[in-house]
Chain A
């Protein structure tokens, strides 16, 4: 029998016991919302982890977005501050480089704790892709994630060329030193399928990259300094290759709060496969077009392939026949995670999702009462959240952007 390598890292959540610190033998928590941008180079938008930045247009604008997706505050470049009326936020800082077709974003999620004045940041992620040409020069501070461990939130960030902290870890000033937290090294090398971010790679920006995602979690702003509880950042593979991961073995009260408030999610790791599971399904997570109804099936983990499998059932509950094909969209952090998708939307819509959203076409007609069940197979790793997999459907299918994108 195959030996399943590495460890199962089981999450044991002790709810409601008032503990100030829990030890999690696992990676930790994510927040549900991702945001999505428009290709104007500014830091606003909603609902996905992709943000376009015009080539050469390096911005440093921060948007705070409430969990319902409304934009609440935009910080001008170089400023910071925390509106007290926002208790959950989505922080986005755009980055851009000198490449063609580059996009990237940084997101952070957390909550505001009025009694302490702390913004507790739980999760940050950088997504990016080069759609044409070759991009290099992404080491260090270019992709530095700015979560301060002391002083104002969102300040700092490791800079390219900064030495790694003593004892290893990401590039940039050491945690707790007031400077923040940065990354170094190449994230993903399509030539080899993987590349590591290591402490010694702070200046290594020589390898071309095409797509990447990396994430880390933990930390607290405004005097928190809890990020030093994290042994190192966690970095996830892009596409199918694991790059490097670290485990967070401690979880702060802030993280516990996030979990109990239903805005954080937990991660389970089995071997080289990781799954982040949610604590809630957003009300907006499930949208349907009448008259077909869509129901979800449960999840099964395929240990051999490392995929998660679920099902979607489309049913005609009306008394009239519905002519196919039907389709539904699967919103995932990366559409490529949906292994059996028909394609990706070229144009987004409020219902189906943003451009790039995976969709599945069901080539069938639906007589009254008829149903069709479709398996959905997703790659496990870098699955940012199982329940970020939002399933939507449309009966008529203007799907892959055949009309003009607005």
Chain B
């Protein structure tokens, strides 16, 4: 399990108090190519902790990279989910359950950028999670089962403006529900968005320059 503490990628949108984290994820999905449990689907969820669908958080997933693969079929949308793997997926927690699911043919890599607002409200946090489903709609086994009770690759409980990002490798001790051998997908590599880091660095440099000018 890899934990990414998102303090370093916290951004405050100008003019608002809405915190946002931006992270790039890259998976090695070589093991999915030709696997008998396929075809596979990507499953993103942003479920509302309050239960009312307060729409206080949004996940935007874009910059998809399927390697030699590609999205397939139409998305299956629940609640505040919209978009397409071919472009951009947005999920707002406007219902209790907000789920995006769409098929894809796997290449050697799977990458995407997640932009997630991190507004905290209530006792039960909103949760963003991502899983890969097999041809039967079951989650590919991951190590998240032993801590979160679910076979997700990514879990983010939005319990602060800088929530911990949990990522997991697949679980090689269990076979997919749809059949075949265990699937080996290493712990994905989450990286803060370089675009925003660059912007942050530029902003920091500008602040330093302004402070320096003030005192000089």
Contacts and interface: CB of A to CB of B under 8 A. Distances in A.
A265 B193 CA distance: 38
Contacts of A299: 47, 49, 96-97, 124, 127
A277 B52 contact: yes
Interface in A1-44: 1-2, 4, 8, 10-11, 13
A1 B125 CA distance: 30
Given A297-B157, A299-B127, A375 B150 contact: yes
Contacts of A13: 53
B139 to A, nearest CB: 6
A387 B51 contact: yes
Given A301-B97, A373-B147, A375-B149, A1 B157 contact: no
Interface in B123-158: 123-127, 129, 133-139, 145, 147-152, 155, 157-158
A275 B148 contact: no
Interface stretch (B14-22, B71-79, B180-188, B200-208): B71-79
A114 B44 CA distance: 46
A296 B159 CA distance: 10
Q: How large is the interface on B (under 10, 10 to 19, 20 to 34, 35 or more residues)?
A: 35 or more
Q: How many residues of A sit at the interface, in one of the four size bands?
A: 35 or more
Given A1-B73, A268-B96, A300 B129 contact: yes
B41 A300 contact: no
A199 interface: no
A302 interface: yes
Contact of A4 (B39, B76, B155): B76
Contacts of B39: 1
Contact of B51 (A279, A297, A309): A279
27 contacts: A8-B79, A11-B95, A268-B79, A270-B99, A275-B97, A277-B48, A277-B95, A278-B52, A281-B124, A296-B125, A297-B125, A298-B124, A298-B126, A299-B97, A299-B124, A300-B155, A301-B45, A302-B150, A303-B43, A303-B101, A303-B138, A303-B139, A304-B134, A304-B137, A310-B124, A375-B148, A375-B149
A162 to B, nearest CB: 37
A86 interface: no
Contacts of B127: 297-300
A298 B137 contact: no
Pairs of residues from A and B, 8 with the lowest C-beta to C-beta distance, nearest first: A375-B149, A298-B127, A304-B138, A2-B137, A277-B51, A277-B96, A309-B149, A278-B51
Given A296-B125, A298-B126, A304 B51 contact: no
A309 B96 CA distance: 13
Of the listed residues B73, B99, B177, the one surrounded by the most CB atoms of chain A closer than 10 A to its CB is: B99
Given A298-B47, A300-B129, A4 B137 contact: yes
A385 to B, nearest CB: 8
Contacts of B77: 8
Contacts of B147: 311, 373, 375
Contacts of B96: 266, 268, 275, 277, 299, 386
